Structure 1
Amino acid sequence: MTKSALQIARAAYAPKMPESLKGSVKIVEGRKTESIADQADIAKLFPNTYGMPLLTFEAGGAAKSFPAVNVGVILSGGQAPGGHNVISGLFDGLKRLNPNSKLYGFLGGPGGLVDNKYMELTSDIIDEYRNTGGFDIIGSGRTKLEETAQFDQGLENCKKLDIKAIVIIGGDDSNTNACVLAEYYAQKNAGVQVIGCPKTIDGDLKNEMIETSFGFDTACKVYSELIGNIQRDCNSSKKYWHFIKLMGRSASHIALECALQTQPCVTIISEEVEKKGMTLDGLVAEVAATIIARAKEGKFFGTVLIPEGVVEFIPAIKKLIAELNDLLAHHEAEVNALANNDEKRALVAKLLSADSAATFASLPVAFANQLMLDRDPHGNVQVSLIETEKLLIDMVKAYIKKNEPALGAKFQGQPHFFGYEGRCAAPSNFDADYCYSLGYTASVLIGEGKTGYMASVRNLTAPTAQWIAGGVPVTMMMNMEKRHGHMKPVIQKALVDLNGAPFKKLVECRNEWATQPSFVYPGPIQYFGPTEVCDQPTKTLALEQKK
């Protein structure tokens, strides 16, 4: 296999770790935990894994001997930079516990556990993937582990390989499934531990114990480089407005972080749209106001950042989508049997409530059609398939032509969607270190016999040696939400905090960025050089933890 010069150099990078993981580890139990909401319901559903204490690792524990253990690892859901380093850290940690331990990778995501598709991950294989992007070492998938038959089949396959622990590397839904699996195996006294690791570039798997999900740092730096490149072009040609949609279905963390890094003219934050109770027309008018103001100063160019899930935060459309999700869950076959979109829209309109039917009828036809697309495995609309950036360009253009005819002809919009570009990038030094530490932390949790925990590494704006490793019970993050028309326990997504320092920084600066020459050009990720260039965390983390 041909390797680039960067691949060869990165293979030699030795990830930095917290001091507490470098020798014998002492486990310190903290307070007993409870779920973030719906405590009685969650406690009833998870009697064996609810209420467990927080765990913190400290250096200098008494030396212990650990038996060899076979462990399975699963990559679940969409890719995120650093997944290979989680596996590398897990492998090295298991070998540190006992050199005879083995690590098996289930292929193609959670489905590999059920279908018994696996490979043993040896040092020769692991060494080829250290500090690389992607999930190609074993592949990923979106199979949901939620059926008893799946749990039983997975357990049977684990017994064949004498696997005593499973590590599931995934986002909120994947770790919810991990928690359900841990509870089921604990209930059956099956002898199989389940540990989770927090992955998602969206950044919405976070709380007091999970300061950030891995991959967020790298993805935002990749997107910010691209935005910066576009802004440099924008500032050169001076004739286009670039509408840039960024990943972030349920939260606007990516859009906010990229805004803080690049200082665009307009940044839409979904959570703010919802708080203001904005309509789609109101959002269009707000974006257009900045474009008109710049045009009157002779500036017919700029950038607009758009979270991919913003339509779900416009109250009337959010209500419509919620009804559509339920409606399509119960009438999917009936709707899909119709010959064309006109017939589908007509049927859907009849089944909706009066308010939602009116909202549905008011939407541009192409947009309404996109809202009827097949749902994802969790029953939600696939907002990444909705071309919000093109919709806003068309609506802003129509608004300007109607309200400022003299300026309308000079408005030219260019749509972009940055998604896959950031998911498999070579991890930044931050993510390489963070992910390796998460994997190593998972190995310690396994050695200590824990289950139903997520690996946690905190204090992330400090030097790596001062990071704090430990474990957090997954049930602590849960609440009850409606999925496929039924209430289910799920990890609560962390939305942008409108009272938090990162958003307040955007509010403080947005007027200046809208009118003054404020573009920032971050450039590509730097892997070698001064610490302040190579190892800095996201601006979100820096602002959140600023003393």
Structure 2
Amino acid sequence: MKNCIVIQSGGPTAAINASLAGVIKRASEAGYDHIYGGINGIVGVLSQKVMDLTEKMAEDPDFIEKLYRTPAMYLGSCRLRLPDPNVEPAIYDALYSHFKRLDIDTFFGIGGNDSMDTVMKLASYFKKKGSSIKVIGVPKTIDNDLLYTDHTPGFGSAAKYVATTIREMAYDTMIYPVKSITIAEIMGRDSGWLTAASALARTKDLNAPQLIYLPEVLFSVKECIEDTKMLLKNRNSVLIAVSEGIRDTDGDYISASALEKDDKFGHAQLSGAGKALEHILGQALGFKIRSVELNIPQRCATHLASKTDLDEAFGLGSAAVCLAEEGKTGLMTTIQRDDSENYHVTYGSVPVYEVANGVKKVPRDFINERGNDVTEKMIDYLKPLIKGEVDMSYNDGLPEFLPVGHLTSTID
């Protein structure tokens, strides 16, 4: 028997199920007898909660197609940081026992920075143990902050949603002949890629958002007040896009509530950068002002998904299986953008230890000198990633998705 197991973990995206679809389809073609899915990430594998995805394909000939365009995570997610295998090997011994019971040949982990930490530790453990079990990572994150890949699945679709929403908000805010400020808070704790995508909302007739603030440049309250005041001299409405993780010149988060408690991976839990800026500008300028937190829709709006994004997500999942077929392990699949006028990518790989727990920042030359906007280099980088529309299936006027898999079918 040659079986494999795949998990999804971290935050959901509009494209992560497309990566899962790519893994399943290619693994089936490669002759894996059973393709298992861990329920709720590595937690499900540890508790021996899995589903047989091979059976899902047999039950529904359109399963792969439906999975490709279903948002969030079909297998469910978790946020569990595995301990160092050299310090606490017992949990890995248990995983190894479960894998042997299921005749697992390869483990595929789909996720972001923290998920690649899991992939790295499993690969290290199996190598030290002398096991032939292969471990391959498949990237995803709307934050686009994974190292050594041009961009990440999920980002293109989230960027398309952000740009579309900002454009719609701009039209909304321009209708009244009164001075007003609107602030859109966009996800991005350590990097501002997604907030930068708000610039794609602009057209030759619409210059919104007028200000964009990313975490890569320290935020000056004084300059923001000056810039907003100056803009309002010649226009009635100003739209500001701000990353949730912006910091002031002292390095402190600009947020209404920078919670003291970190998450399980040591990341600060942020809340209300937009609300905090609303208060600051309201006190300083006195104009009508409101803040909007885009929040969850940034990562689940499949009705606005980028076809480029979903196709590349599928391709990366398929490429992961190809690496395993070549006998490789401890790698993460990557996207490499060709240096040509016409957008084209190839799939590669990188040792996962070079990616895990790292953060890819927005390059400084993608941000203007004052730190309140992006440059044409950023626009050129972003544009191809949002291209193409996904053919959706509708029922009673609403998009139709697969039922949530991890709630409907498990085997112990």
TM-score class normalised by the smaller sequence: 0.7 to 0.9
User: What runs of 5+ residues in structure 1 fail to find an aligned partner?
Assistant: 1-67, 322-362, 401-407, 478-489, 512-522, 529-547
- Counterpart in 1 of 2:315? 437
Pick aligned residue for 2:389 from 498, 503, 526: 526
Aligned with 1:287 (options 211, 224, 232): 224
Counterpart residue identity of residue 245, structure 1: E
Matches within 5 A, 1:311-326: 311=247, 314-318=248-252
Matched, 1:127 2:64: yes
Aligned identity (percent) is: 25
1:303-342 matches, cutoff 5 A: 303-311=239-247, 314-318=248-252
Q: Distance in 1 between matches of 2:142 and 2:152?
A: 7
Alignment of 1:118 with 2:50, yes or no, is: yes
Alignment correspondent of 2:292 = 416
Confirm or deny: 8 A CA contact 2:211 2:372 kept in the other structure.
no
Amino acid at match of 1:293: M
Which residue of 362, 373, 381 maps to 2:268?
381
Distance apart, 1:284 and its partner CA: 2.3
Distance 2:370 2:390 in 1: 28
Picking from 278, 293, 296, the partner of 2:233 is 296
Question: 1:173, 1:194 → 2: CA distance?
Answer: 15
Shift in alpha-carbon separation, 1:257–1:461, aligned structure 2, 3 A: farther
CA distance in 1 between counterparts of 2:22 and 2:343 reads 16
Work out whether 1:221 is the aligned partner of 2:160: yes
Aligned length: 364
Check whether the contact 1:243–1:393 (CA below 8 A) recurs between aligned residues: yes
Cα distance in 2 for partners of 1:463, 1:89 equals 28
- Compared CA separation, residues 494 and 154, structure 1 to 2 (3 A): same
Instruction: Give the 3-state SS of the residue equivalent to 1:382 in structure 2.
Output: strand
CA deviations on 1:5-31 (whole Å, 9 max, x unpaired) are xxxxxxxxxxxxxxxxxxxxxxxxxxx
Alignment of 1:451 onto 2:317: no
2:182 corresponds to which residue?
A: 242
2:69 is aligned with 1:191: no
Q: Deviations 1:438-462 (Å, cap 9, x if unpaired)?
A: 0110111111111100012322687
Q: Which moved more, 1:141-150 or 1:222-231?
A: 141-150
Does the 8 Å CA contact 1:202/1:216 hold for their aligned counterparts? yes
CA shift in 2, pair 1:425/1:180, >3 Å: same
Q: Which residue of 2 aligns with 1:201?
A: 142
Residue 217 of structure 2, aligned match among 255, 268, 272: 272
3-state SS in 1 of match to 2:217:
helix
Q: Is the 8 Å Cα contact of residues 333 and 349 (structure 2) preserved in structure 1?
A: yes
| Aligned position for 1:29 | none
**Residue among 20, 24, 29 paired with 1:87:** 20
1:74 aligns with 2:7: yes
Give 1:491's match in structure 2, choosing from 348, 351, 357.
357
Query: Amino acid of the residue matched to residue 294 of structure 2?
Result: F
Q: CA deviation at 1:241?
A: 1.2
Larger Rg: 1
**What is the CA distance between 1:418 and its match in structure 2?**
1.1
* 8 A Cα contact 1:217 1:428, kept in partner: yes
3-state SS of 2:109 partner: strand
Q: 1:220 to 1:245 in 2, by over 3 A?
A: same
Rate the CA distance shift 1:238–1:166 in 2: closer, same or farther, 3 A.
farther
CA RMSD, 1 decimal? 2.8
Change (3 A) 1:105 1:83: same
Q: TM-score, normalised by structure 1?
A: 0.62
- Contact kept in structure 1, 2:106 and 2:133, CA below 8 Å: yes
Q: How far off its partner does 1:392 sit?
A: 0.9
User: Structure 2 matches for 1:2-13, cutoff 5 A?
Assistant: none
For 1:219 and 1:149, the matched residues in 2 are separated by 39
Given the alignment, which residue of 445, 457, 475 partners 2:353? 475
Q: Is the 8 A contact 2:199 2:374 kept in 1?
A: no
Unpaired runs of 5+ in structure 2?
A: 203-207, 376-385, 392-412
Deviation at 1:464, TM superposition (A): 10
Question: Match of 2:258?
Answer: 371
State the distance in 1 between where 2:210 and 2:125 align.
50
Counterpart in the other structure of 2:34 = 102
Q: Deviations over 1:197-223 (max 9, x none)?
A: 11110011133xx11011000001011
Q: Which has the higher mean CA deviation after the structures are superposed, 246-255 or 138-147?
A: 138-147
Decide whether the 8 Å contact of 2:12 with 2:73 is kept in 1: no
**Separation of aligned partners in 2, 1:260 and 1:505:** 19
Cα distance, 1:291 vs. partner?
A: 2.3
- Residue 503 of structure 1 and its aligned partner are, at CA, apart by 2.6
Paired letter, 1:80:
T
8 Å CA contact 1:441–1:455 kept in 2: the answer is: yes
Deviation at 1:304, TM superposition (A): 0.5
Distance 1:128 1:233 in 2: 36
Partners of 2:142 and 2:152 within 8 A in 1: yes
Q: Classify the secondary structure of the residue corresponding to 2:150.
A: coil
The 1:181–1:287 alpha-carbon spacing in structure 2 relative to 1, beyond 3 Å, is same
Mapped contact 2:213–2:371 kept (Cα < 8 A): no
Shift of 1:510: 6.9
For 2:181, the aligned partner's letter is: W
CA distance in 2, matches of 1:105, 1:453: 20
Task: Determine if contact 1:266/1:510 at 8 Å carries over to the other structure.
Answer: no
- 1:260 is displaced (CA, Å) by 3.8
- Whole-Å Cα distance in 2 between the matches of residues 134 and 169 of structure 1? 14
Local SS of the residue matching 1:414? strand
Change (3 A) 1:463 1:284: closer
Distance 1:238 1:193, change over 3 A: farther
Partner of 1:169: 110
> Match for 2:276: what amino acid?
L
Equivalent of 2:95, from 151, 154, 159?
Answer: 154
The Cα of 1:128 is off from its aligned counterpart by 6.1
Partner of 1:44: none
Give the drift of 1:498: 0.3
Map residues 4-43 of structure 1 onto 2, 5 A cutoff.
Answer: none
Confirm or deny: 8 A CA contact 1:285 1:399 kept in the other structure.
Answer: no
Distance 1:372 1:508, change over 3 A: closer
SS at match of 1:130: helix
What TM-score do the two structures reach when normalised by structure 2?
Answer: 0.81
Shift in Å, 1:463: 10
